[in-house]
Structure 1
Amino acid sequence: MTLASEVLDAARARRVMIATAESCTGGLIAGALTEVSGSSDVVDRGFVTYSNAAKMQMLGVSADTLSDHGAVSEEVAAQMATGALRHSDAGIAVSVTGIAGPGGSEHKPEGRVCFGIAQPFGVTTSTVEFGAIGRHRVRAATVEHALNLLLGALRA
């Protein structure tokens, strides 16, 4: 059984729909979930908010939060996840925002990804430093980590 299948089964067991809010993965998390046949009963929608404007318009991320913390921050990940929950019929949402590479800076290195998990009772965030392992591998690792976070939250 795939990780995505496990997430879907856990969502079915909890009777909740899932929403995704993705920046650096460009929809790959929603893609992994919807790759599984029958996923439409628990996948509500995915938001691909690559630009800051999209994060603000589609998810309600605050311009102040973006300017104060930058797009790659736990503060933005939290607002992305809560925005996805608010703008969907989902009971759980995952968000990702990061620097897949190539590039980055001293303060925001390549491979840094911030995650958010929002549920009606609150939001949790975390940051993972995948390192400069290449764009494709950062994105793949981000999808896997996001699915694991969803699975853990659904089973908690």
Structure 2
Amino acid sequence: MAKDAGINAQKEALKMALGDSEARFATAESCTGGALGAVFASDSELGPHLERGFIAYSLDAKEAMLGVPREESEPCAGVSPAVAEAMARGALERSEADYGVAITGFCGPQEQDEEVGLVYLVLVPKTGPVDLRECHFGDVGREKVLEQAVAEALELISDQLKPGSTDS
């Protein structure tokens, strides 16, 4: 419940950061399964900024839909900074958006030696620096990891859009 408030707060911050901007976003989501795109689509002010969304949960989908090379995704089970950036670039290249944003991570339960709650978020603008965040949410349950990842992605986008932002 508290994190839902976090998502709502980040939605409001994003609306303010967007202002009169016509920026459009293409989402590439793995562990969040389209939840970030749903946040955009469910809000009448954010909806026009969603150009398209890709849900690429499996390694096959990441390769086929977003062009993520298998040799990059297989060794890390599709969760690494490089995979997240490739997903965001793939979404941007396959859209008419101004930004590609990607989320990939491990929501749990733990399999092999993966770190539950490890999530990578990347925002790739058509021009300008790439912004990457590595989050360690912990083993708090799939739903909470998903919610925290979406809130963090909204914050990542807002931070990049703020006037004078150079943290990328």
Letter in 2 for 1:147: L
TM-aligned CA deviation for residue 37 of structure 1: 1.3
TM-aligned CA deviation for residue 68 of structure 1: 4.1
Residue number among 74, 95, 100 corresponding to 2:107 in the alignment = 100
Residue number among 114, 117, 125 corresponding to 2:123 in the alignment = 117
Kept after mapping to 2: 8 A contact 1:5/1:33: no
TM-aligned CA deviation for residue 59 of structure 1: 0.8
Residue matched to 1:143: 150
Q: Give me the TM-score of the superposition, normalised by structure 1.
A: 0.90
Matched, 1:129 2:131: no
Matched residue SS, 2:20: helix
Kept after mapping to 1: 8 A contact 2:27/2:100: yes
Task: Give the whole-Å Cα distance in 2 for the aligned partners of 1:119 and 1:102.
Answer: 33
Residue matched to 2:49: 42
* Range with greater deviation from structure 2 (97-106 or 108-117): 97-106
Matched residue SS, 1:24: coil
Cα 1:81–1:63, aligned 2, differ >3 Å: closer, same or farther? same
Residue matched to 1:61: 68
Task: Give the whole-Å Cα distance in 1 for the aligned partners of 2:97 and 2:16.
Answer: 15
Q: Give me the TM-score of the superposition, normalised by structure 2.
A: 0.84
Task: Give the whole-Å Cα distance in 1 for the aligned partners of 2:12 and 2:53.
Answer: 17
Residue matched to 1:21: 28
Deviation per residue, 1:56-86 (Å, 9 max, x gap): 1111111111134430100100000111111
Matched, 1:4 2:11: yes
Kept after mapping to 2: 8 A contact 1:100/1:112: yes
The alignment-based identity, stated in percent, is 33
Task: Give the whole-Å Cα distance in 2 for the aligned partners of 1:51 and 1:94.
Answer: 17
Letter in 2 for 1:80: M
Structure 2: 5+ residue stretches without partners: 1-7
Deviation per residue, 1:58-115 (Å, 9 max, x gap): 1111111113443010010000011111111111121010110111443x21110011
Deviation per residue, 1:12-63 (Å, 9 max, x gap): 5343101111000000001111111143321101110011111111111111
Deviation per residue, 1:120-151 (Å, 9 max, x gap): 23423221110001111000000100110011
Task: Give the whole-Å Cα distance in 2 for the aligned partners of 1:91 and 1:35.
Answer: 20
* Range with greater deviation from structure 2 (126-135 or 8-17): 8-17
